Amino acid sequence: MKLSKKETKFLHLVRRSIIIAIYLLIITFLIKIAPNYVKEASDDRVNLLVNNNNVTKNLKKDIIVKDNEYYLSIADVKNFLDEFLVEDGQDIILTSNTKTVKYVKNSNQIDINTSYVKVTNPSIDVDDSTYLPVSELAVIYNLEYKYDQESKKLIIDSLSKKFVEAESKSNQYVRYKADFFSKGVAKVKKNEKVSIVQDFENDTDIELNGWTRVRTSSGIIGYIKSNKLKNRTVKRDNLERKKIDGKVSIMWDYYSPYDPCPTRSDKIDGVNVVSPSFFELMSNGEIKTNIGKTGEAYIQWAKNNGYKIWPTLSNTFLNNKDAVSKMMYTFETRENLIDNIIDALVESNVDGINIDLENMYKDDKDKYSRFIIELAPRVREIGMTLCVDVTEPDGSDNWSLCYDRHTIAEASDYLVFIGYDQHNNSSKEAGTVAGYDWEETNIKKFLGQEEVSPEKLILAMPFYTRLWRESNGKITSKVVNMKDVSIPNGVTTTWNDITKQNYYEYEKDGVKYKMWIEDETSIKNKLQLIKNYNLAGAGFWEKDREKEDVWTIIKEELEN
């Protein structure tokens, strides 16, 4: 049957309408499910890629190219490479994993770990900003860099971080997002190599719904279907070393600078780090070393039993805030102290150091942080571990507010919370030395307001308590070691579920006695905090105050 012109025209119109509708549906479908594309590169300046992150939009200043050298502003070095960078007049103080550097502006000479080194390209000043050459930054921070002319990207990779390569199975697109409908941002040929972007925190490839995030040789980042990649190869592993396998269990072995080191012969289960009192800080920045023959025997005993040795450096006998303040005041005074510490560590044949400087001025908080920041690379350079002790947050100026806990934790390998003396001999009321509730509250402060990573935090707990005596409105106390705690005849203990301790009190001859007992049960409960908050481990003050069987509990709790 032949259609009229009018009917034919109508059918063509219907067909066109259906086709247009289909196109509109397809476009709507693509707009709805296709991931939005945002161009990551900037055409009018050098782009910057740092460890597979395009940070060009976050640059404070443009990258400067001069005589085939690339320069980053100090603000951008601080932002992308070194959060602890500081300017001090003409000096720029940089710290990497193993280097502490004083970079003098516009000078051909820099100080790296107390050695003066000549540089080919000094810093330059442009528009009131100082710029550092990437070639020198690569040496300081252990970097690899290249410039890709096609993509106009300066590509910087840390040689300390994991690097994984793979090959493309076929000619294919690299997609902007992990979706077939996403825009193709680059093409790769069959057998062309791409680097697989890493999740450094979890030590895994970044994968999403069967797609792998990759970077092309020209610095373009996107996704390829995981099954379209072959020959995955780890070209460089993460060089950041693990300090201790499992949880840290550090035992302090205290003795004064005028006494010999304790003699040890038996193996102590439940311990993997020992901290003898080898070092004392003197008023001139010198380190008084007290090792001797007994200390040498102690070191051998520790090594024979597989313990790491992190001797303590303290200022207990100095007790001079002004002297400590003077040592922290300038880069040169800190460098002198750090040199003395490094010399003492190298000569002692140990594995690290535990810094325990207390009773300092609140106004010196930032200077003390700089000391730790500048000490850490020097300690790591010689293959050792840096552990730093701090008190609870929110206390008095010279005891608590003199520490920047977040910065110290970021710079060091471990941060120790000295979790005792909640009540001490100057307290105006009787109370526990270390209640579970007090320790937990402060752990939350460390992890919350202080922003300390749990894998850095060690909870230290006491092997002692106090016997309190209340008489005629006066309160006094004396220290009682855990092993010496005894319950008087006829006195019964009650369980305090807040402090997680056994408690007793009694009255005799008009005097009231009170004690919150430290024993195997209280220690076991404190160790539960390590598990609950996934902390780095525990510390114990101090050897020879404990009951011998407490080590079995420590071993079981920290290993399970």
Statement to judge: residues 224 and 265 lie in one domain: no
Angle between helix 331-348 and helix 365-381 axes, rounded to 10 deg = 40
Q: Are the C-beta atoms of 420 and 461 separated by less than 8 Å?
A: yes
**What is the rounded distance in angstroms from the CA atom of residue 505 to the CA atom of residue 493?**
8
Domain assignment present for residue 475? The answer is no
Statement to judge: residues 221 and 262 lie in one domain: no
Q: Cα 174 to the chain's mean position, in Å?
A: 35
Domain assignment present for residue 23? The answer is no
Q: Give the count of beta carbons closer than 10 Å to the beta carbon of residue 97.
A: 14
Q: Cα 36 to the chain's mean position, in Å?
A: 36
Residue 15 has pLDDT above 90, yes or no: no
What is the per-residue pLDDT across 140-150, written as a single tens digit (0 to 9) for each? 999 999 999 88
Higher local confidence (pLDDT), 29 or 148 = 148
Domain assignment present for residue 330? The answer is yes
Q: What is the mean pLDDT of residues 229-236?
A: 93
Q: What is the per-residue pLDDT for 244?
A: 86
560 pLDDT band (50/70/90 cuts)?
A: confident
Q: Give the count of beta carbons closer than 10 Å to the beta carbon of residue 34.
A: 15
285 pLDDT band (50/70/90 cuts)?
A: very high
Q: What is the mean pLDDT of residues 19-24?
A: 66
- DSSP code string of 185-229: EEEE-TT-EEEEPEETTTTEE-EETTEEEEE-TTS-EEEEEGGGE
Q: Are the C-beta atoms of 339 and 114 separated by less than 8 Å?
A: yes
Q: Is 210 exposed, middle or buried (0-12, 13-18, 19+ CB in 10 A)?
A: exposed
What is the per-residue pLDDT across 164-218, written as a single tens digit (0 to 9) for each? 999 999 999 999 999 888 989 999 999 999 999 999 888 899 999 999 999 999 9
Residue 510 has pLDDT above 50, yes or no: yes
Q: What is the mean pLDDT of residues 510-522?
A: 97
Q: What is the mean pLDDT of residues 385-397?
A: 95
Q: How far does the chain reach from its first CA to its final CA, in angstroms? A: 87
Q: What is the per-residue pLDDT for 227?
A: 95
Percent helix, percent strand, percent coil in the chain, to nearest 5 = 30, 30, 40
Residue 40 has pLDDT above 90, yes or no: no
Q: Are the C-beta atoms of 166 and 229 separated by less than 8 Å?
A: yes
- Asked which of 155, 188, 208 is the last residue of a domain, the reply is 155
Residue 14 has pLDDT above 90, yes or no: no
Domain assignment present for residue 414? The answer is yes
Statement to judge: residues 325 and 458 lie in one domain: yes
Least confident among 6-20, 75-89, 426-440, 489-503: 6-20
41 pLDDT band (50/70/90 cuts)?
A: low
Q: Cα 383 to the chain's mean position, in Å?
A: 17
31 pLDDT band (50/70/90 cuts)?
A: very low
CATH of the domain at 199: 2.30.30.40
Question: Count of domains in the chain?
Answer: 3
Statement to judge: residues 367 and 408 lie in one domain: yes
Residue 54 has pLDDT above 70, yes or no: yes
Q: What is the per-residue pLDDT for 548?
A: 94
Q: Is 507 exposed, middle or buried (0-12, 13-18, 19+ CB in 10 A)?
A: exposed
Q: Coil, strand or helix: which one is 387? A: strand
Q: Cα 543 to the chain's mean position, in Å?
A: 28
Residue 13 has pLDDT above 80, yes or no: no
Q: What is the per-residue pLDDT for 150?
A: 85
What is the pLDDT of the chain when averaged over all its residues?
Answer: 92
Interstrand relation of 464-471 and 511-517 (parallel, antiparallel or unpaired): antiparallel
431 pLDDT band (50/70/90 cuts)?
A: very high
Statement to judge: residues 419 and 534 lie in one domain: yes
In this structure, what are the phi and psi dihedrals at residue 272, rounded to the nearest 5 degrees?
Answer: -130, -5
Statement to judge: residues 59 and 151 lie in one domain: yes
Statement to judge: residues 388 and 537 lie in one domain: yes
Least confident among 236-250, 360-374, 449-463: 236-250
- Asked which of 204, 236, 268 is the last residue of a domain, the reply is 236
**DSSP 8-state symbol, 510:** T
SS3 readout for 109-174? EEEECCEEEECCCCCEEECCEEEEEHHHHHHHHCEEEEEECCCCEEEEEECCCCEEEEEECCCEEE
**What is the rounded distance in angstroms from the CA atom of residue 443 to the CA atom of residue 527?**
13
Q: Coil, strand or helix: which one is 524? A: helix
**DSSP 8-state symbol, 63:** P
Statement to judge: residues 417 and 376 lie in one domain: yes
Q: What is the mean pLDDT of residues 149-174?
A: 93
**What is the rounded distance in angstroms from the CA atom of residue 420 to the CA atom of residue 541?**
9
- Asked which of 210, 236, 262 is the last residue of a domain, the reply is 236
Q: What is the per-residue pLDDT for 451?
A: 98
Angle between helix 321-328 and helix 365-381 axes, rounded to 10 deg = 60
CATH of the domain at 120: 3.30.457.10
Statement to judge: residues 336 and 458 lie in one domain: yes
Statement to judge: residues 261 and 221 lie in one domain: no
Maximum Cα interatomic distance, the chain, rounded to a whole number of Å: 126
Spell out a b/e string for 236-272, using b for 16 or more CB atoms within 10 Å of the CB, else e. eeeeeeebbeebbbbbbbbbeeeeebbebeeebebbb
Domain assignment present for residue 242? The answer is no
Q: Cα 284 to the chain's mean position, in Å?
A: 30
Domain assignment present for residue 77? The answer is yes
Q: What is the per-residue pLDDT for 364?
A: 97
Domain assignment present for residue 199? The answer is yes
CATH of the domain at 405: 3.20.20.80
Q: Are the C-beta atoms of 557 and 528 separated by less than 8 Å?
A: yes
Q: What is the mean pLDDT of residues 305-314?
A: 97
Q: What is the per-residue pLDDT for 239?
A: 65
Residue 372 has pLDDT above 80, yes or no: yes
Q: Coil, strand or helix: which one is 447? A: helix
Residue range(s) defining the domain that contains residue 58: 47-155
Q: What is the per-residue pLDDT for 45?
A: 83
Report the candidate in 353, 256, 373, 351 with the shortest Cα–Cα distance to residue 312.
353
Q: What is the per-residue pLDDT for 6?
A: 63
Q: What is the per-residue pLDDT for 243?
A: 76
Residue 399 has pLDDT above 50, yes or no: yes
Statement to judge: residues 57 and 180 lie in one domain: no
Domain assignment present for residue 14? The answer is no
Q: What is the mean pLDDT of residues 17-33?
A: 60
392 pLDDT band (50/70/90 cuts)?
A: very high
Statement to judge: residues 215 and 134 lie in one domain: no
Q: Are the C-beta atoms of 420 and 541 separated by less than 8 Å?
A: yes
